[in-house]
A and B are shown apart, each in its own frame.
Chain A
């Protein structure tokens, strides 16, 4: 009897070890992608983050997206767009689309409805990005004008992948229930299931055609966005086949993915700009010499090499190589120069040791944020600053930063492709209390670039703005992280600098 039991157990163990387990068997054309950002509401206007906009662009549809590889705007629901004058953009919607439930394609009425929802839906948190829009005026059923309150040359880029268009007809009929039970849009994928903060499931829209006519054969039939906040878990799920795409792999876990035949690693230059911010109205950071002294004390290349395993690109200024209007590195950047740092401290009156400063960082919010902040604090101490490092919980940290109560902090600003709005908020006079910087010349240039329609001239204005930010050091720019994505070997998919991907162009073999 005992030997019989042992035999059964032994066979069971062999089967368990040899046979592919149920969770890792690749279902035909099902692509599971890990998600880390909150997905808390099926209201397409109830949340604001790149992954959420990407989800709704794929399902309901948005005007278009930016193809970072081809460096051009690509329409999703829009087929044409042009500036009519300094305050008017005209968009034309595609006419060959059908709603997922067989209803009519998107119309100008749906666009007007979308703007209304963004502005008046009690759950909407997206009204800030349409703040410059005065009104949307239909020209005909498929053409509409977006009228801005002032010149806004960046409007197309700002709106393109964030303006989610939903059906006015369905909302009129079902109200908020339309989002829950009748989530029909025009995008390449139909929303099938939405479990807040757990899982979102989309199914391929068989009637979808790409804007440029490219082939969508081989793209996944079903896409699952699976919430997995722990990086270790994402890597494990990728390795054992539970997921096909694992996003945001931290540098220290890349080694586990390398030299494997079943998995490949994609590295993409990101556009989340990391910086050490000074509150320019709080001592001692009111003195530009001390801001420069701190900047020169930080060895960014060493931190990138040692702590981030090379997975970041150092940049000076708010615009880097992956962003719009990058025309090259600014002049006389604030590079690592400890001697200069000490000289500036001495010039500012701190010959025998620098001022006492409080330095804050979030923990677990950005890649290796605490470790980076510890290294920066150490470098500042070596220069002579007397640093006290604080690592408050993110909720506390963010509340104080927003209110301008934090004198010095390490932080990032995500998805900065066109830096207009981010720059205005952070460095424009009266933009927000976070940095409290004010420079009339910078303000003047910021206003001018909004109105400049010639790309070359606009980029020249940005070059000057970037130079001001380097010279005045209201914040010391550190780097943009390289996005590391693990992908199963039988999947071909391109991760853009925004961290998102266009699913119709993905291929599963």
Chain B
């Protein structure tokens, strides 16, 4: 298993190299000049030229790429054109917010979708199965930005149940350990903050979760249906085991692999796909940062964030493989042999 993980992680390097190359080419080919966007309307051409020189944008493209690649190998993405600070520092500041949002959204989605999927599978063809299909299609078809604004309108503006923007109000401090506020507050014993933190994350997390509920429910339903047809399930029923026991001990463990797969994939998609939701809710994560970076052609920052996303995606996939190994004895056996 360890060997497999090491080999998988070693495969990250060529992928990252390709990603940086493609990104560099795309950003250079894209119309728009970073120097133009960094200066005000009334800036003179001399000022634009000075900004271009400051960021090396007047150097030949090959020289720019070579210099960039050398720095990336040293894990130095340079300084952001827009913010003037180290890209790595900006990413480290923002990444916990994105991870927290993704994990909370996924948790909500899984807690809702897996039971729904099981119910739909066990009542296949019945009303509940149709309802779950409707929920699934609605979730997948609903644009996140539209849903986000709708939730803000209803839950925040009309009912004033939840705040509409940001991560925490001014004046509330969470002792910093990981940067994930829910975890840090719990670790510091500041349980009174958990409700406030949850209230701020609720709307963006619900927006993201709604989209995933459908997908996870459908995969769960299919996986449960497949396993339910196995002979050992018939045996378990014949033995007189309760429905709950059959689901817990036989159905779920055997259906876990595809469910874990989809959850893992969704986590990867969530982390990189929450850009719009972060912007709508002014959530201070990597998505908002990437949106700002692209809009001003901030090449170092854009590249740094995309490389971060790529690395996270690969790491999540490796973790999924580890989870397979732990939950499925057949995979452990095949690895051993």
A and B pair up: yes
Binding site for B on A (CB under 8 A): 16-17, 21-24, 27, 30, 32, 38, 40-41, 43, 46, 48-49, 122-123, 125-129, 131, 193, 195-199, 201, 222, 224, 226-230, 232-233, 235-237, 239-242, 256, 392-396, 398-400, 402, 413-414, 421-422, 425
Say yes or no: B170 contacts A230, CB within 8 Å.
no
B280→A40 contact, CB < 8 A: no
Q: Evaluate contact between B159 and A128: CB separation under 8 angstroms.
A: no
A125 in complex: contacting residue of B38, B160, B295, B297, CB < 8 Å: B38
B149, A232: Cβ atoms under 8 Å?
yes
Of chain A, the residue at the smallest CB distance from B45 is A432
Contact present for B163 and A201 (CB under 8 Å): no
- In the complex, what's the smallest C-beta–C-beta distance from A43 to chain B, in angstroms? 7
- Does chain A have a CB within 8 A of B76? no
Task: Give the contacting residue for A49; candidates B30, B40, B170, B196; CB below 8 A.
Answer: B40
Q: Indicate whether B282 reaches chain A with its CB closer than 8 angstroms.
A: yes
Contact between B42 and A21, CB atoms less than 8 A apart: no
Are A236 and B153 within 8 A (Cβ)? yes
Q: Are B47 and A46 in contact (CB under 8 A)?
A: no
Most chain B CB inside 10 Å of its own CB: which residue of A49, A232, A422: A232
Give complex CA distance A12, B161 in Å.
Answer: 12
Taking CB atoms, residues of chain A closer than 8 Å to B284 are: 195, 198
Establish whether residues B83 and A233, one from each chain, have CB atoms under 8 Å apart when the complex forms: no
Please state if B282 and A227 are interface contacts (CB–CB under 8 Å): yes
A228 to B162, CA, bound (A): 16
B47: which of A32, A127, A400 is its contact (CB, 8 Å)? A127
CA distance A251 to B162 in the complex (A): 25
With contacts A201-B170, A230-B280 taken as known, whether A421 is within 8 angstroms of B42 at the C-beta atoms is yes
For the complex, is B51 an interface residue (Cβ under 8 Å from A)?
yes
Contact of B43 among A16, A128, A400, A414 (CB under 8 A): A128
Query: Bound complex: CA of A122 vs CA of B288, how far in Å?
Result: 26
Q: Is the CB of B44 within 8 A of A233?
A: no
Chosen A-B contacts, 17 in total, with CB atoms closer than 8 Å, are: A22-B169, A40-B84, A125-B43, A125-B47, A125-B51, A126-B40, A193-B170, A232-B153, A236-B153, A240-B164, A242-B163, A242-B165, A395-B295, A395-B296, A399-B32, A414-B41, A425-B42
User: In the bound complex, do residue A395 and residue B153 qualify as a contact, i.e. CB atoms below 8 Å apart?
Assistant: no
Question: What residues of B have a CB within 8 angstroms of the CB of A241 in the complex?
Answer: 160
The answer to whether A394 touches B280 (Cβ under 8 A) is no
Kindly state the separation between the CA atoms of A114 and B36 in the bound complex, as whole angstroms: 24
* Chain B 47-77 residues near chain A, CB threshold 8 A: 47, 51, 54
In the complex, what distance in Å separates the CA atom of A396 from the CA atom of B34?
10
Instruction: List residues of chain A with CB within 8 A of the CB of B281.
Output: 233
B-side contacts of A17, CB under 8 Å? 159, 161
Determine if A398 and B36 form an interchain contact, defined as CB atoms under 8 angstroms apart: yes
Complexed CA–CA distance, A425 and B39 (Å): 15
In the complex the two chains form, is A38's CB within 8 Å of B196's CB? no
Residues of chain A with a CB closer than 8 A to B40's CB: 48-49, 125-126, 128
Q: How far is the CA of A433 from the CA of B31 in the complex (A)?
A: 18
Measured between beta carbons, the chain A residues less than 8 angstroms from B160 are 21, 24, 240-241
The answer to whether B170 touches A233 (Cβ under 8 A) is no
Q: Is the CB of A123 within 8 A of B43?
A: no
Give CA–CA (A347, B259) in the complex, Å. 72
